[in-house]
Amino acid sequence: MPDRPFQYLLHPLPLTGGGTVSRIMPGPMEGIMHPLFCKAVSELGLIDFWITPFLRISTDVPRDSRLRHFILPFTETGLPVIVQLMGNNPELIAAAAARFRKLGVAGINLNFACPSKQVISSGAGGSLLRKPELMRQIIEQVASACPGFSLSVKLRTGYDDSAEMERILERAVSGVKLDFIAMHFRTVKEMYRKTDQGFERIVRAVKLAGDIPLIANGDIFSAEDATAMFRATGCAGIMIARGLLKNPFLSRHIRQTCGDADIRTTTGDGRTIFFNKLLDIARRDPGKYWSRPQFMELANYMWGSSHPCFEVFKQLSDKEFLSYSVVEQ
């Protein structure tokens, strides 16, 4: 494993077809990355590009108007957008990818990781880890429908067991041209359970990925977690999902820790700043952005439902909530 300095994480990752993205990647989050979230993140400059949550392609390719609607919250931030597609029909996914390419996105990411029961029972997401030959067909069809375009995948280390990783990577991606593999170190069966094998699994994944940049994902909640993952595994980048909710300035903190002297960050509580930004946006245009369930769900991810501020939010009327300001705890 090359002993690279942390500054390596600041080197942009080139995308096939042009452009670059950060090696400190935002993890896609379905149900969280709605227009309000995207606007707040971009107004505060918290990330550099998007990987959208999955768009499920099952029986047909949606019309262009629906595809445009799907990417709008992301494209209107002005940041590059990689669209994540999920499904098990190679022709349909390839057709959807080609249509998104025409709409001007920066690349396509294929979801072979989602562990949700509903997704698994439909034979998509993480269930495809049991069918690496079909994964390969999907990857190859998308690549041939979108030549010279950025293509990447998101995986877990196995379905039942991480020992499957060797077989999966050998059969699904060896010899394939991908811009990166984002690897969540858990298996599908593990869902979000704790494992102490994260680093060891990512080390194996980095080796198996060969020339394809391996982006490590899982349980990165601080800049120290990020640099520990990088140091222990030799990964080519990191991806943070829940960490961005617990600490919205995390990507900025990581950049700073890696030596980026120009980065905007904060010494205050990032959650407070972010939540107040969400409220500010909702106040400016409540018709478009105010949704109590969305605020409660974000608060739940950010502070947890046992935190005193969550209790306060529960007691507020909609009107009180909209004029509320969180005070740093």
Ligand X SMILES: Cc1cc2nc3c(=O)[nH]c(=O)nc-3n(C[C@H](O)[C@H](O)[C@H](O)COP(=O)(O)O)c2cc1C
Q: 105 near 55, Cβ under 8 Å?
A: no
- CB closer to ligand X, 54 vs 230: 54
What is the distance in angstroms between the CA of the first residue and the CA of the last residue of the chain?
A: 42
269 is a site residue for ligand X (CB under 6 A): no
- CB closer to ligand X, 117 vs 319: 117
Pairing state between β 13-14 and 20-21:
antiparallel
Our CA dihedral for 187, 249, 105, 293, rounded to 10 degrees, sits at: 80
Q: Quote the CA–CA distance of 3 and 262 in Å, as a whole number.
A: 25
Q: Which stretch binds ligand X (CB under 6 A): 29-37, 223-231, 254-262, 316-324?
A: 29-37
Q: 161 near 187, Cβ under 8 Å?
A: yes
DSSP symbols for 40-52 = HHHHHT--S-EEE
The single residue among 10, 29, 98, 322 that binds ligand X, judged by CB under 6 A, is: 29
- CB closer to ligand X, 13 vs 32: 32
The two structure tokens encoding residue 147: 């030549």
32 is a site residue for ligand X (CB under 6 A): yes
21 is a site residue for ligand X (CB under 6 A): no
216 is a site residue for ligand X (CB under 6 A): no
- Name the residue among 193, 221, 236, 282 with its Cα closest to residue 8: 236
- Given 38, 114, 146, 235, the catalytic residue: 114
Indicate the SS3 state at residue 156. strand
- CB closer to ligand X, 212 vs 241: 241
- CB closer to ligand X, 193 vs 319: 193
Q: Quote the CA–CA distance of 316 and 249 in Å, as a whole number.
A: 27
Indicate the SS3 state at residue 20. strand
Task: Tell me whether residue 309 is one of the annotated catalytic residues.
Answer: no
Q: Which residues contact 3 (CB under 8 A, 6 or more apart)?
A: none
82 is a site residue for ligand X (CB under 6 A): no
The single residue among 25, 27, 89, 101 that binds ligand X, judged by CB under 6 A, is: 27
Q: Which stretch binds ligand X (CB under 6 A): 27-35, 200-208, 225-233, 262-270?
A: 27-35
30 is a site residue for ligand X (CB under 6 A): yes
In the complex, which residue's CB is closest to ligand X?
Answer: 27
108 is a site residue for ligand X (CB under 6 A): no
Residue type at 2? P
- CB closer to ligand X, 124 vs 282: 124
- Least Cβ distance, residue 317 to ligand X (angstroms): 27
89 φψ region: left (φ > 0), alpha (ψ -120 to 50), beta (else): beta
56 is a site residue for ligand X (CB under 6 A): no
219 is a site residue for ligand X (CB under 6 A): yes
Catalytic (active-site) positions = 114
Return residues touching ligand X (CB under 6 A).
27-32, 53-54, 84, 111, 113-114, 154, 184, 217-220, 240-243
